[in-house]
Amino acid sequence: MDEERDDELLLLLLLLWCRNKRKRHPKRLWVKHIYSLRRHYSEYHNLLQEMRLADPESHFMYLRMKRETFDVLVRVVTPYLTRRRYISGNRPSITPAEKLALTLRFLATGNSQISLSFNFKMGWATVSKVLHETCCAIWDALVSSYLKFPQSIEEWKAISLQFWRSWNFPNCFGAIDGKHVVIQASNNSGSTYYNYKGTFSVVLLAVCDAYYQFLMVDIGGNGKESDGGILSYSSCGTSLEMDSINLPDPTSLPDQSDLKAPYVFVGDDGFPLGTNLLKPFPRNNNITKDKS
C-alpha cells in the first residue's frame, strides 16, 4: 500500500511540475489600444464635429448630406439601432449617430472597410457588423414612407397625370430599368452572377415615377439574368401579369377621344412587350408612319 501511495504522490508531483513549466501566453487584449481611443481621435468625434460647427459645405461633401438632414435621419433610425449595452473598461458603446455616420461615409465613397476601421477607430469585424445593421435600420425606418407602391386606381392616375404634365407622355405609370452592381463573386457560385458585361454583379431593378422617385425596387437578382427575366420573377412583375395591382382601365388619349389606350410602364429592349409594358422599336428599324 505504501508503494502505491508513493507512486500516486510522484504522479501528482509530476503533473504539478508540468503545469508550472507550461509556457504561459499573456492574455490578449479584447480591444486594440488604437480602438480604445475612439472617442478622442476618430473622424466622427473630431473631423465631423468640426465640420458640423464651422464648415457645413465640407459636412455635405463628407456625408453627401446636410447637417439638418443627418440629424433628422439619426432620430428616425435610432429606435432601430438602440440596444441595451454595458460599457466596460475601455470599450465605450457606439452611438446610433456614429453608426449612421460610418455607414453614410461608406455609401458615399465606397472606401474599404479596413480603411474605415482606421478612420473611425473600430475593429474590422465591428465595421462590417455596423454597416449591415445600419443599412437594415435605414430600410426598416424609411421604406413605408419613401417607397410607397400605389394601392388604388386614384393613385395610379395621379402618377399618370405627372408624366403627362412633366414629359408630355400620356397613360404612363413609370419608367423601369435595371442596374448592375458589381460584386466579388462568392466561392462556388459559378456563372450565376456573371453578366454580359464580363463582370460579376447583382441587379437593382426599379420603377420610377415622373419625378425620379422609386415606386418599386427588386434588389439582388443574379447578374446573368436579363432585366425582363428579373421583372417576371419580382412581385411587381407577377402582380402585373396577374392583373392584381388595381390598374385603371384603358382610357382615351389626349386629343384622341375615340381612341382608348391602356396604361403602361416604359422600358428598354431588355423587357418584353406587353399590354401594360411598352418599349421602343429596335434601333435598326426606322420609324415609319404606320409604326408611329
CB of 149 closer than 8 Å to CB of 61: no
Q: Contacts for 90-96 with beta carbons within 8 Å, 24 or more apart?
A: 90/31, 90/36, 91/30, 91/31, 91/36, 92/38, 92/39, 94/122, 94/126, 94/130
CB neighbour list of residue 184: distance below 8 Å, 6 or more residues apart: 200
Instruction: Specify if 283 maps to a domain.
Output: no
Q: What is the mean pLDDT of the chain?
A: 83
- pLDDT, position 275: 85
Does the reported pTM lie above 0.85? Answer: no
Smallest CA-to-CA distance from 248 within 149, 175, 176, 151 is with 151
Tally of CA atoms within 13 A in the half-sphere of 214 that contains its CB: 16
- pLDDT, position 78: 94
CB neighbour list of residue 90: distance below 8 Å, 6 or more residues apart: 31, 36
pLDDT confidence tier of residue 84, bands split at 50, 70 and 90: very low
Residue 86 pLDDT greater than 50, yes or no: no
103 plus 167 within the same structural domain: no
DSSP bridge pairs for 178: 205
Distances (CA, A) of 91 to 1, 78, 123: 58, 20, 11
139 plus 177 within the same structural domain: no
pLDDT tens digit string along 187-209? Answer: 887 888 888 888 899 899 899 99
Instruction: Specify if 13 maps to a domain.
Output: no
Give the percent of the chain with pLDDT over 90. Answer: 37
135 plus 171 within the same structural domain: no
Q: What is the mean pLDDT of residues 261-276?
A: 88
132 plus 187 within the same structural domain: no
189 plus 257 within the same structural domain: yes
Instruction: Specify if 266 maps to a domain.
Output: yes
- Identify the domain boundary among 114, 145, 176: 145
Structural domain for 89, as ranges: 33-145
Give the percent of the chain with pLDDT over 70. Answer: 82
- Identify the domain boundary among 125, 145, 165: 145
92 plus 163 within the same structural domain: no
Instruction: Specify if 27 maps to a domain.
Output: no
- pLDDT, position 101: 95
122 plus 159 within the same structural domain: no
Residue 98 pLDDT greater than 80, yes or no: yes
Instruction: Please tell me the total count of domains within the chain.
Output: 2
Pairing relation of β-strands 201-208 and 172-182? antiparallel
Name the more confident of 262 and 287: 262
Q: How big is the chain, counted in residues?
A: 292
CB of 77 closer than 8 Å to CB of 47: no
115 plus 175 within the same structural domain: no
Instruction: Specify if 93 maps to a domain.
Output: yes
For residues 51-87, b (16+ Cβ closer than 10 Å) or e, as one string?
A: beeeeeeebeebbebeeeebeebbebbbebbeeeeee
- pLDDT, position 74: 95
Instruction: Specify if 58 maps to a domain.
Output: yes
Smallest CA-to-CA distance from 65 within 95, 96, 109 is with 109
128 plus 203 within the same structural domain: no
Helix ranges (DSSP H) in 82-152: 96-109, 113-120, 124-146
Instruction: Specify if 271 maps to a domain.
Output: yes
- pLDDT, position 88: 43
48 plus 91 within the same structural domain: yes
Q: Which three cell numbers stand for residue 136?
A: 437594415
pLDDT tens digit string along 226-254? Answer: 888 888 888 778 877 777 788 888 888 87
- pLDDT, position 89: 46
167 plus 210 within the same structural domain: yes
pLDDT tens digit string along 30-59? Answer: 567 777 778 888 899 999 999 999 999 999
CB neighbour list of residue 108: distance below 8 Å, 6 or more residues apart: 62, 63, 64
Residue 25 pLDDT greater than 80, yes or no: no
Instruction: Specify if 251 maps to a domain.
Output: yes
- Identify the domain boundary among 127, 145, 163: 145
Torsion of the alpha carbons at 53, 56, 58 and 61, rounded to the nearest 10: 130
Residue 1 pLDDT greater than 80, yes or no: no
271 plus 175 within the same structural domain: yes
pLDDT tens digit string along 53-78? Answer: 999 999 999 999 999 999 999 999 99
Name the 3-class secondary structure at 119: helix
